[in-house]
A and B are shown apart, each in its own frame.
Chain A
Amino acid sequence: MRPASWLLLVVALSLAFDATLLAVGQERRIAQQRELPLLHTVTAALGLSDLCVATEARYTRHPAVSDPVAPFMDHPGAMEHFPTGSFWAPPPFRR
């Protein structure tokens, strides 16, 4: 078999593998979509504004209802020191 045929085989197998991964991922998306009405009920009934991803600091637990300056509010000259602060960008400026 010529080298180009080997390449074609490798690429085809990789793409087939990727297509399988995407199909499994798509199934998960559909399953998540089915749970959406339940999540809407919880959000509406509790009036939630944020996802529970990180719980270490109030400004990454509830970024939507925190100020951009919340990380520096502990005392004058305070530094932001929680690790999640490096992953979560500050929320857009608001009054």
Chain B
Amino acid sequence: MNSALEKHLNILDYALSALWRHRLKNGGIVVVFAAVIFLVASFQLVTTALTETAGKVLAVTPEITIQRMSAGRQEAIPLAYAEKLHDIFGIRAVVPRVWGYYFDEVRGANYTVLGVSADMPQADELSRAVVGGVMGSGGQGKVVVGRAVSQALQLQPGQLFSLFRPNLSLKAMTVAGIFRPETDLLTADLIAMPLVEARDLFLIPASKATDLCVYISNPAEIGTIAEKISKLLPDTRVLTRPQIQKTYQVVFGWRSGFASVCLLAALAAFAILAWDKASGLSPEERREIAILKILGWETADVLAMRFWEGGLVAGLAFLLGCTLAYLHVVFFGASLFRPVLVGWSVLHPALSLAPHVTLKEVLLLLAFTVVPYLAVTVVPAWRAASVPAESALSG
């Protein structure tokens, strides 16, 4: 075998034996270090999965959404605003939408009530996503509910139920169908109904809607048309599809409070480790290095031995932390983060996260954790190894 490789294997053997001699201490470091990496990697995987999903699923969200603002709050928008947009070239359709929240005081749950027009794109294909019938007006309005809503209210297709209007009168509705489980991530808390039924439930006049969805012929013109709408309707907020997609790249970012706590905990734990290592070697470790040098080891060999020790501790912790993080996120639905991710939500879909792990992300995590650890373990060893053996032994 190549003599250099054999030499390194021998040094590795020695490093492993040295680690095993202090197995309690080194095992403790591996566990703490792995826990820190687990925390950071889990957060990274959760946010990657959610951002990716949002990016894919919301790729067909309306090109432009117009909301009317008054005193910094969103208000119902008059349908007359839609007529003002007729002169803007490139707009394919303007479709009003009525939506809002309904708080169920008995269950403490929030439902999202959505009144949609039959003019929405692919509205005739919605039945593919529903078990049972589709929504419709007349008599008791036919609504389609999300699975979480159907479970909370114990509803089945064909069943009748009522919600309170703002004036506390009851509005009766029939469950036409229930959204398929595959769509839970979008529809779990939805009660979807025709526009007219939603207006009736929220007592919104026929001349108004919650917002207007604007569909554009050429997606490259979204920015230009949004700008024109902003100028034409100065009391509105104009949201574009790229803005909506950008939202999901930001909301799960490192600037959120929880992420900062994860990062700060990781940094604090790492700083303690680094401080312990960088503050110098123990007298026993100095003595060991001195004996090795007397036995003929060179400074480079001592450094290689310390490098292997540091690399093994950090590498094993990295492997353990990343494996546990992947298990946690993909197979246990990020159960440790769920209390914060969903908060006091009574209705929330079971998360099925499958993040795409890229080499770039793994290397980034490696660079932030393993490399600094290697640096802080090798530097004090180099200082000790460069001192003459006699003085180390006598000191």
Chain A residues close to B by CB (< 8 Å)? 2-4, 6-7, 11, 14-15, 17-18, 21-22, 24-26, 28-29, 32, 35-36, 38-58, 60-65, 67, 69, 73, 82-92, 94-95
Contact = CB atoms under 8 A, between A and B. Distances in A.
B22 to A, nearest CB: 14
A84 B16 contact: no
B33 interface: no
Nearest to A34: B182
Interface in B214-244: 230, 237-239, 243-244
B73 interface: yes
Contacts of B312: 7
A92 B243 contact: yes
Interface stretch (B61-69, B76-84, B268-276): B61-69
Interface in B1-52: 9, 12-13, 16-17, 20, 50
B246 interface: yes
Interface size on B, as a range, is: 35 or more
B136 interface: no
Contacts of B16: 3-4, 6-7
B282 interface: no
Interface in B87-103: 95, 97, 101
B326 A53 contact: no
Contact of A43 (B60, B74, B188, B211): B60
Contacts of A85: 257, 343
A49 B345 contact: no
Given A55-B347, A56-B345, A89-B251, A41 B339 contact: no
Interface in B327-346: 327, 330-331, 337, 339-346
A39 B180 CA distance: 10
Contacts of A53: 50, 185, 341-342, 348-349, 351
7 contacts: A3-B16, A7-B312, A52-B112, A52-B186, A87-B259, A89-B255, A89-B256
B313 to A, nearest CB: 12
B378 to A, nearest CB: 19
B3 to A, nearest CB: 16
Given A53-B342, A61-B101, A94-B243, 11 more contacts: A3-B12, A18-B322, A25-B330, A25-B355, A39-B57, A42-B187, A43-B59, A44-B122, A49-B58, A52-B186, A64-B239
B64 to A, nearest CB: 11
B356 to A, nearest CB: 7
Given A40-B57, A54-B342, A94-B243, A47 B213 contact: yes
A28 to B, nearest CB: 4
Contacts of A55: 109-110, 112, 188-189, 342, 345-348
B184 interface: yes
B120 to A, nearest CB: 5
A83 B339 contact: yes
Interface string B166-190: 0000000000000110111111111
A56 B347 CA distance: 8
A76 to B, nearest CB: 12
Contact of B67 (A11, A43, A65): A65
Contacts of A26: 354
Given A39-B185, A51-B185, A89 B120 contact: no
Interface stretch (B124-132, B298-306, B363-371, B384-392): B124-132
Contacts of B125: 41, 45
Nearest to A66: B74
Given A46-B126, A82-B344, A83-B340, A38 B180 contact: yes
Given A65-B67, A87-B256, A88-B252, A82 B343 contact: yes
Contacts of A47: 61-62, 65, 95, 97, 116, 120, 213
B126 A52 contact: no
